[in-house]
Amino acid sequence: MVSKRIFANVLGLLFLCLVLSSSVFAQVAGGSISGTVTDASGAVVPNAQVTVLNTATGVMRTLVTNDSGFYNAPNLLPGPYQVKTSASGFATMVERLELTVGAEAVVNVQLKAGEVTEVVQIGGGASVIEQASSTLSAAVQGKTIRELPLNGRDWTMLATLEPNVHTVDTQVTVPLGQTDRANRGWGTQLTVGGARPQQNNYRLDGITINDYSGSGPGNTLGAALGVEAIQEYSVVTANPSGEYGRTSGGVFNAITRSGTNSFHGSAYEFMRNSKLDARNFFDGASAPPFKRNQFGFSAGGPIRKDRTFIFGDYEGLRESLSATNLLLFRRAPRASATSRAAK
């Protein structure tokens, strides 16, 4: 009887740990909207109702300001948001903004005297100056990820668009037939602020996805697939906040796409072929054979409007690559007629 009770307590503790750990991951993967509500004189307005609405999914969160007029909506998915603030004796204020992954947007609201039914639209959005954190980061939007030409469609390569981020050439001189790439990992080697690539932390939906060597994720071709499934990601280049951890370099914080209230999808294929390549100096009559096909599809939509959504993506890669190897042989000197006669 005692053993059953201990077993049940252990299971309950494990379940509690899983729940708590998932909530911590969500804090890193998502963003937050916070601010202070005041009146025209600058005095704080407690008990004001603040409604944060994701206009793409219809998911709504209702908050009430505290005695200091402060509100905070954490763990928000990136996307377009509408912040509506109302209080007795004041006109309703509506502000729109675009929340990026990992961002801590500050939306301070100044209410004007009037009827609650009166609505004042504000289009300025959140402050472009980071007021809630000293972290230096930049976000790469999903449209940029999907539409910019990427060799191999490796979404981690777009991090080089940000200052202080550079690729590292891993093709060092090694004995013939050997390679050091397997020791360094197969993903893209990126240095942030001069740190080693193994010091970076790659996160997908709040979960670390570094490979076995501590480097970035990648297949045997050195690319991280799944561009269509990435909504956006941010690159933290300096002063990462405490919730990230496990890094002394940069933080690559990505989040996957989700369905919305409208159906959407795509089908794609990208091709590279040696028939379109030019011969180099050492090639023969034609360039060495090379074929690469990347193809797939994605689709998403609502299961239950404003409540439950679904999104899926498949991406395949088929590659056949060959190269020209030039071998030089030294011919033996030909014997002269005199030497032959002597023999």
Residue 103 has pLDDT above 70, yes or no: yes
pLDDT given for residue 25 in this prediction: 39
pLDDT band with cut points at 50, 70 and 90 for residue 82: very high
pLDDT band with cut points at 50, 70 and 90 for residue 308: confident
Mean pLDDT is lowest, of 4-18, 65-79, 312-326, for 4-18
Number of domains observed in the structure of the chain? 3
Mean pLDDT computed over 56-85? 90
pTM of structure: 0.62
Q: Does residue 188 fall inside a structural domain?
A: yes
Same domain, 202 and 141: yes
Q: Does residue 127 fall inside a structural domain?
A: no
Residue 204 has pLDDT above 80, yes or no: yes
Tokens 């307590």 map to which residue? 9
pLDDT band with cut points at 50, 70 and 90 for residue 114: confident
How far is 235 from 188, CA to CA, in rounded Å? 15
Same domain, 157 and 222: yes
How far is 311 from 96, CA to CA, in rounded Å? 25
Q: Does residue 74 fall inside a structural domain?
A: yes
Percent of the chain with pLDDT over 90: 16
Same domain, 251 and 269: no
What does pLDDT average to over the chain?
77
Domain final position from 213, 239, 257: 257
Residue 176 has pLDDT above 50, yes or no: no
pLDDT given for residue 242 in this prediction: 66
Task: Please state, in angstroms and as integers, the Cα–Cα distance from residue 198 to each residue in 182, 187, 194, 195, 309, following that order.
Answer: 13, 11, 12, 8, 36
Same domain, 286 and 198: no
pLDDT given for residue 26 in this prediction: 38
Mean pLDDT is lowest, of 1-5, 17-21, 267-271, for 17-21
pLDDT given for residue 83 in this prediction: 94
pLDDT digit string, tens, across residues 140-165: 777 777 887 777 788 888 788 788 88
Same domain, 108 and 138: no
Please state, as a whole number, how many other Cβ atoms lie within 10 Å of the Cβ of residue 153.
21
Same domain, 31 and 106: yes
Q: Does residue 95 fall inside a structural domain?
A: yes
63 vs 234: which has the higher pLDDT: 63
Here the tokens at position 104 are 């801590």
pLDDT given for residue 12 in this prediction: 58
Residue 84 has pLDDT above 50, yes or no: yes
Which segments of the chain are extended strands (E)? 31-38, 49-54, 60-64, 70-76, 79-86, 92-99, 104-106, 109-110, 119-122, 136-140, 165-167, 190-192, 201-204, 207-208, 230-238, 251-256, 264-273, 290-304, 308-321
Q: State the residue range of the domain holding 10.
A: 2-122
Residue 137 has pLDDT above 80, yes or no: no
Same domain, 187 and 302: no
Same domain, 141 and 253: yes
pLDDT digit string, tens, across residues 311-333: 999 988 888 877 777 666 566 66
Q: Does residue 128 fall inside a structural domain?
A: no
Please report, for the domain that includes residue 163, its CATH number.
Answer: 2.170.130.10
Please report, for the domain that includes residue 117, its CATH number.
Answer: 2.60.40.1120
Same domain, 252 and 273: no
